[in-house]
Amino acid sequence: KVGGIMISAALTSFLTGITEPIEFAFLFVAPLLYGIHAVLAGAAYFVAIELGIRHSTTFSHGLIDYVVLFPNSERGLWLLWLGPLWALMYFALFRTLISRMNLKTPGRELEDLAGVATGGVPAGGEMAPQLVAAFGGADNIRSLDACITRLRVDLHDVSRASADALRGLGAAGIIQVGGGMQAIFGTRSENLKTDMEEYMRSSGVTTVKPVPLVAHAVSERQVEVTQEHRARAAALSTALGGANNIIRVEPCALTRLRVQVRDHGAIDESALESARVSGILRISDSVVHVIVGDDADGQAKALGELIRK
Protein backbone atom coordinates (compact mmCIF):
# COMPACT_ATOMS: atom_id res chain seq x y z
CA LYS A 1 0.00 0.00 0.00
CA VAL A 2 2.78 2.42 0.94
CA GLY A 3 4.57 1.48 -2.26
CA GLY A 4 1.51 2.44 -4.29
CA ILE A 5 1.29 5.80 -2.53
CA MET A 6 4.96 6.57 -3.07
CA ILE A 7 4.88 5.48 -6.72
CA SER A 8 1.94 7.82 -7.29
CA ALA A 9 3.82 10.65 -5.56
CA ALA A 10 6.97 9.90 -7.57
CA LEU A 11 5.03 9.95 -10.84
CA THR A 12 3.50 13.30 -9.91
CA SER A 13 6.95 14.67 -9.14
CA PHE A 14 8.42 13.26 -12.35
CA LEU A 15 5.73 14.70 -14.62
CA THR A 16 5.05 18.08 -12.99
CA GLY A 17 7.99 18.72 -10.66
CA ILE A 18 5.68 18.89 -7.60
CA THR A 19 7.83 17.21 -4.94
CA GLU A 20 5.74 17.98 -1.84
CA PRO A 21 4.01 14.57 -1.58
CA ILE A 22 7.41 12.85 -1.33
CA GLU A 23 9.17 15.47 0.80
CA PHE A 24 6.42 15.65 3.41
CA ALA A 25 6.52 11.87 3.72
CA PHE A 26 9.84 12.16 5.57
CA LEU A 27 10.26 15.84 6.48
CA PHE A 28 8.75 15.58 9.97
CA VAL A 29 9.41 11.92 10.81
CA ALA A 30 13.05 12.01 9.66
CA PRO A 31 14.35 15.61 9.39
CA LEU A 32 17.87 14.28 8.87
CA LEU A 33 16.79 12.94 5.49
CA TYR A 34 15.49 16.36 4.52
CA GLY A 35 18.86 17.86 5.43
CA ILE A 36 20.57 15.33 3.13
CA HIS A 37 17.98 16.11 0.45
CA ALA A 38 18.68 19.85 0.69
CA VAL A 39 22.44 19.30 0.31
CA LEU A 40 22.04 16.94 -2.66
CA ALA A 41 19.54 19.22 -4.40
CA GLY A 42 21.84 22.22 -3.97
CA ALA A 43 24.82 20.20 -5.19
CA ALA A 44 22.88 19.17 -8.30
CA TYR A 45 22.31 22.82 -9.22
CA PHE A 46 25.99 23.61 -8.63
CA VAL A 47 27.17 20.72 -10.82
CA ALA A 48 24.70 21.62 -13.59
CA ILE A 49 25.87 25.23 -13.62
CA GLU A 50 29.54 24.26 -13.62
CA LEU A 51 28.94 21.88 -16.54
CA GLY A 52 27.27 24.64 -18.54
CA ILE A 53 23.83 23.02 -18.54
CA ARG A 54 21.10 25.60 -19.19
CA HIS A 55 17.45 24.64 -19.04
CA SER A 56 14.58 26.93 -18.07
CA THR A 57 11.27 26.20 -16.33
CA THR A 58 7.64 27.36 -16.47
CA PHE A 59 6.36 25.70 -13.29
CA SER A 60 8.54 23.26 -11.37
CA HIS A 61 10.72 21.56 -13.96
CA GLY A 62 9.13 18.16 -14.39
CA LEU A 63 9.13 16.10 -17.56
CA ILE A 64 6.59 18.41 -19.19
CA ASP A 65 8.84 21.45 -18.71
CA TYR A 66 11.87 19.46 -19.85
CA VAL A 67 10.27 18.40 -23.14
CA VAL A 68 8.60 21.72 -23.95
CA LEU A 69 11.67 23.85 -23.24
CA PHE A 70 14.28 21.43 -24.54
CA PRO A 71 14.71 23.20 -27.94
CA ASN A 72 15.90 26.32 -26.09
CA SER A 73 18.25 24.50 -23.73
CA GLU A 74 22.02 24.13 -23.75
CA ARG A 75 23.44 20.67 -23.08
CA GLY A 76 19.97 19.56 -22.03
CA LEU A 77 20.78 15.92 -22.81
CA TRP A 78 23.39 15.94 -20.05
CA LEU A 79 20.53 15.92 -17.54
CA LEU A 80 19.70 12.40 -18.73
CA TRP A 81 22.88 11.03 -17.14
CA LEU A 82 23.10 13.51 -14.28
CA GLY A 83 19.58 12.59 -13.09
CA PRO A 84 20.15 8.82 -12.75
CA LEU A 85 23.51 9.46 -11.04
CA TRP A 86 21.82 11.64 -8.43
CA ALA A 87 19.04 9.07 -8.05
CA LEU A 88 21.63 6.42 -7.14
CA MET A 89 23.20 8.78 -4.60
CA TYR A 90 19.80 9.48 -3.03
CA PHE A 91 18.95 5.78 -2.90
CA ALA A 92 22.27 4.76 -1.35
CA LEU A 93 22.30 7.49 1.31
CA PHE A 94 18.62 7.22 2.23
CA ARG A 95 18.62 3.42 2.40
CA THR A 96 21.76 3.38 4.57
CA LEU A 97 20.47 6.02 6.99
CA ILE A 98 16.95 4.57 7.20
CA SER A 99 18.24 1.06 7.91
CA ARG A 100 21.02 1.92 10.36
CA MET A 101 19.11 4.58 12.28
CA ASN A 102 15.74 2.80 12.05
CA LEU A 103 14.03 5.97 10.84
CA LYS A 104 10.22 5.70 10.89
CA THR A 105 9.52 6.59 7.29
CA PRO A 106 6.14 5.57 5.76
CA GLY A 107 5.71 1.81 5.97
CA ARG A 108 8.15 1.46 8.90
CA GLU A 109 6.01 2.91 11.69
CA LEU A 110 5.33 0.89 14.82
CA GLU A 111 2.19 -1.21 14.38
CA ASP A 112 0.53 0.21 17.46
CA LEU A 113 0.91 3.72 16.07
CA ALA A 114 0.10 3.03 12.48
CA GLY A 115 -3.65 3.40 12.80
CA VAL A 116 -4.06 1.77 9.41
CA ALA A 117 -7.12 -0.24 8.57
CA THR A 118 -6.42 -3.72 7.29
CA GLY A 119 -8.76 -3.21 4.37
CA GLY A 120 -6.36 -0.81 2.64
CA VAL A 121 -6.97 2.69 1.37
CA PRO A 122 -10.53 3.19 0.12
CA ALA A 123 -11.12 4.83 -3.23
CA GLY A 124 -13.23 7.73 -4.43
CA GLY A 125 -16.32 8.66 -2.43
CA GLU A 126 -15.82 5.73 -0.04
CA MET A 127 -12.95 7.65 1.49
CA ALA A 128 -14.94 10.79 2.32
CA PRO A 129 -16.64 9.50 5.51
CA GLN A 130 -13.32 8.24 6.87
CA LEU A 131 -11.59 11.52 6.08
CA VAL A 132 -14.31 13.48 7.84
CA ALA A 133 -13.98 11.18 10.87
CA ALA A 134 -10.17 11.52 10.82
CA PHE A 135 -10.53 15.29 11.07
CA GLY A 136 -12.64 14.88 14.20
CA GLY A 137 -16.09 14.62 12.66
CA ALA A 138 -18.20 16.97 10.59
CA ASP A 139 -19.02 19.16 13.58
CA ASN A 140 -15.29 19.76 14.13
CA ILE A 141 -14.65 21.07 10.61
CA ARG A 142 -14.89 24.85 10.39
CA SER A 143 -13.88 25.22 6.73
CA LEU A 144 -12.45 23.06 3.96
CA ASP A 145 -10.19 23.85 1.02
CA ALA A 146 -7.62 22.20 -1.26
CA CYS A 147 -4.64 23.41 -3.24
CA ILE A 148 -2.68 21.26 -5.73
CA THR A 149 -1.38 18.55 -3.37
CA ARG A 150 -3.05 19.04 -0.01
CA LEU A 151 -6.30 19.25 1.90
CA ARG A 152 -6.45 22.35 4.08
CA VAL A 153 -8.95 22.04 6.92
CA ASP A 154 -9.69 24.65 9.59
CA LEU A 155 -10.85 22.90 12.77
CA HIS A 156 -12.68 23.90 15.93
CA ASP A 157 -10.51 21.55 18.02
CA VAL A 158 -7.26 20.25 16.49
CA SER A 159 -6.84 17.67 19.26
CA ARG A 160 -9.88 15.75 17.95
CA ALA A 161 -8.17 15.07 14.60
CA SER A 162 -6.06 11.93 14.15
CA ALA A 163 -2.83 12.22 12.18
CA ASP A 164 -2.40 8.43 12.32
CA ALA A 165 -5.83 7.89 10.77
CA LEU A 166 -5.01 10.34 7.98
CA ARG A 167 -1.75 8.54 7.27
CA GLY A 168 -3.67 5.29 7.22
CA LEU A 169 -5.89 6.78 4.54
CA GLY A 170 -2.87 7.54 2.39
CA ALA A 171 -1.67 10.99 3.49
CA ALA A 172 2.02 11.38 2.66
CA GLY A 173 2.41 14.06 5.32
CA ILE A 174 0.49 16.00 7.97
CA ILE A 175 1.08 19.64 8.92
CA GLN A 176 -0.59 21.45 11.82
CA VAL A 177 -0.95 25.16 11.12
CA GLY A 178 -2.56 27.20 13.88
CA GLY A 179 -6.10 25.95 14.36
CA GLY A 180 -6.06 23.76 11.28
CA MET A 181 -4.41 20.80 9.62
CA GLN A 182 -3.07 20.17 6.14
CA ALA A 183 -2.91 16.62 4.77
CA ILE A 184 -0.76 15.85 1.71
CA PHE A 185 -2.70 13.57 -0.66
CA GLY A 186 -1.06 14.58 -3.92
CA THR A 187 -2.98 15.75 -6.97
CA ARG A 188 -6.17 13.96 -5.91
CA SER A 189 -6.63 16.45 -3.03
CA GLU A 190 -9.09 18.56 -5.03
CA ASN A 191 -11.29 15.53 -5.75
CA LEU A 192 -11.12 14.41 -2.11
CA LYS A 193 -12.26 17.87 -1.02
CA THR A 194 -15.23 17.66 -3.38
CA ASP A 195 -16.09 14.16 -2.11
CA MET A 196 -15.99 15.39 1.49
CA GLU A 197 -18.22 18.36 0.70
CA GLU A 198 -20.75 16.15 -1.11
CA TYR A 199 -20.73 13.61 1.72
CA MET A 200 -21.34 16.25 4.38
CA ARG A 201 -23.99 17.96 2.24
CA SER A 202 -25.83 14.67 1.71
CA SER A 203 -25.59 14.00 5.44
CA GLY A 204 -27.26 17.30 6.21
CA VAL A 205 -24.14 18.90 7.70
CA THR A 206 -24.10 22.68 7.48
CA THR A 207 -21.14 23.53 9.71
CA VAL A 208 -18.61 23.54 6.88
CA LYS A 209 -18.19 26.79 5.01
CA PRO A 210 -18.22 26.32 1.24
CA VAL A 211 -15.42 27.72 -0.88
CA PRO A 212 -16.42 31.40 -0.99
CA LEU A 213 -17.42 33.29 -4.08
CA VAL A 214 -14.69 35.53 -5.36
CA ALA A 215 -16.42 38.69 -4.22
CA HIS A 216 -16.30 37.54 -0.60
CA ALA A 217 -13.03 35.62 -0.73
CA VAL A 218 -10.84 38.50 -1.78
CA SER A 219 -12.75 41.49 -0.42
CA GLU A 220 -11.49 40.58 3.07
CA ARG A 221 -7.88 40.98 1.89
CA GLN A 222 -6.45 44.47 2.10
CA VAL A 223 -5.38 44.66 -1.54
CA GLU A 224 -5.31 47.78 -3.67
CA VAL A 225 -6.65 47.19 -7.17
CA THR A 226 -4.90 49.21 -9.87
CA GLN A 227 -5.88 49.99 -13.45
CA GLU A 228 -3.27 47.47 -14.57
CA HIS A 229 -5.05 44.82 -12.48
CA ARG A 230 -8.39 45.71 -14.07
CA ALA A 231 -7.02 45.67 -17.61
CA ARG A 232 -5.46 42.27 -17.10
CA ALA A 233 -8.61 40.98 -15.37
CA ALA A 234 -10.62 41.83 -18.48
CA ALA A 235 -8.23 39.79 -20.62
CA LEU A 236 -8.28 36.90 -18.13
CA SER A 237 -12.08 36.90 -17.98
CA THR A 238 -12.34 36.70 -21.76
CA ALA A 239 -9.75 33.91 -21.93
CA LEU A 240 -11.60 31.95 -19.24
CA GLY A 241 -14.80 31.94 -21.27
CA GLY A 242 -16.31 35.19 -20.06
CA ALA A 243 -17.60 36.35 -16.68
CA ASN A 244 -20.65 34.10 -16.92
CA ASN A 245 -18.40 31.05 -17.18
CA ILE A 246 -16.58 31.81 -13.92
CA ILE A 247 -18.21 30.44 -10.78
CA ARG A 248 -15.54 31.05 -8.15
CA VAL A 249 -12.00 32.39 -8.03
CA GLU A 250 -9.52 32.92 -5.22
CA PRO A 251 -5.78 33.43 -4.82
CA CYS A 252 -3.86 30.24 -4.12
CA ALA A 253 -0.22 29.40 -3.33
CA LEU A 254 0.91 33.04 -3.73
CA THR A 255 1.21 33.01 -7.51
CA ARG A 256 -1.98 31.32 -8.72
CA LEU A 257 -5.68 31.82 -9.13
CA ARG A 258 -7.92 28.87 -8.30
CA VAL A 259 -10.81 29.21 -10.74
CA GLN A 260 -13.99 27.15 -10.87
CA VAL A 261 -15.72 27.35 -14.26
CA ARG A 262 -18.96 26.07 -15.72
CA ASP A 263 -17.48 24.89 -19.02
CA HIS A 264 -13.81 23.95 -19.17
CA GLY A 265 -14.00 23.77 -22.96
CA ALA A 266 -14.66 27.51 -23.14
CA ILE A 267 -11.17 28.32 -21.82
CA ASP A 268 -8.85 29.75 -24.47
CA GLU A 269 -5.28 28.84 -23.47
CA SER A 270 -3.69 30.92 -26.23
CA ALA A 271 -5.60 33.96 -24.96
CA LEU A 272 -4.36 33.19 -21.43
CA GLU A 273 -0.79 33.26 -22.72
CA SER A 274 -1.49 36.67 -24.25
CA ALA A 275 -2.68 37.78 -20.80
CA ARG A 276 0.81 36.94 -19.42
CA VAL A 277 -0.27 33.67 -17.80
CA SER A 278 2.79 31.44 -17.39
CA GLY A 279 0.85 28.22 -16.97
CA ILE A 280 -2.53 26.60 -16.41
CA LEU A 281 -3.15 23.40 -14.43
CA ARG A 282 -6.34 21.40 -14.82
CA ILE A 283 -7.27 20.11 -11.36
CA SER A 284 -10.68 18.65 -12.24
CA ASP A 285 -13.38 19.03 -14.91
CA SER A 286 -14.44 22.35 -13.41
CA VAL A 287 -11.38 23.67 -11.53
CA VAL A 288 -8.16 25.09 -12.97
CA HIS A 289 -5.17 26.84 -11.43
CA VAL A 290 -3.96 29.83 -13.42
CA ILE A 291 -0.39 30.95 -12.72
CA VAL A 292 -0.46 34.76 -12.85
CA GLY A 293 2.66 35.71 -10.88
CA ASP A 294 3.40 37.28 -7.50
CA ASP A 295 0.33 39.55 -7.41
CA ALA A 296 -2.34 36.85 -7.35
CA ASP A 297 -4.28 38.56 -4.52
CA GLY A 298 -4.71 41.80 -6.44
CA GLN A 299 -5.52 40.02 -9.66
CA ALA A 300 -8.16 37.87 -7.95
CA LYS A 301 -9.83 40.93 -6.46
CA ALA A 302 -9.84 42.75 -9.80
CA LEU A 303 -11.35 39.73 -11.51
CA GLY A 304 -13.96 39.58 -8.75
CA GLU A 305 -14.97 43.19 -9.34
CA LEU A 306 -15.36 42.45 -13.03
CA ILE A 307 -17.51 39.38 -12.42
CA ARG A 308 -19.86 41.28 -10.10
CA LYS A 309 -20.73 43.86 -12.76
5-28 pLDDT, tens digit per residue, is: 778 888 888 888 888 888 887 887
Count other Cβ atoms within 10 Å, centred on residue 231: 12
pLDDT per residue as tens digits for the range 120-174: 445 545 788 889 989 988 888 888 888 777 888 988 888 889 888 888 888 877 8
Amino acid 217: pLDDT: 41
Query: What was the pLDDT predicted at 202?
Result: 80
CA distance 167 to 230: 43
Q: CA-to-CA distance for 297 and 144, rounded, in angstroms? A: 19
Kindly calculate the radius of gyration of the chain based on its CA atoms and give it in whole angstroms. 21
- Tell me how far apart the alpha carbons of residues 40 and 11 are, in angstroms, rounded to a whole number: 20
- pLDDT for position 308: 76
What pLDDT score was predicted for residue 253? 63
pLDDT of residue 218: 40
Residue % of the chain over a pLDDT of 70: 85
The order of strands in the sheet holding 246-252 is 246-252, 256-261, 287-291, 279-282
- In the chain the domains, ranked by start, together with CATH numbers, are 30-101 (no CATH), 114-202 (3.30.1360.60), 214-308 (3.30.1360.60)
Strands (E) in 163-209, as ranges, are: 173-177, 180-184
Can you give the pLDDT at residue 127?
84
pLDDT of 298 above 50 = yes
Is the predicted pLDDT of residue 41 greater than 60, yes or no? yes
The single residue of 5, 25, 132, 147 carrying the catalytic annotation is 147
CA-based nearest residue to 167, from 180, 143, 178, 183: 183
Q: Is 147 a catalytic residue?
A: yes
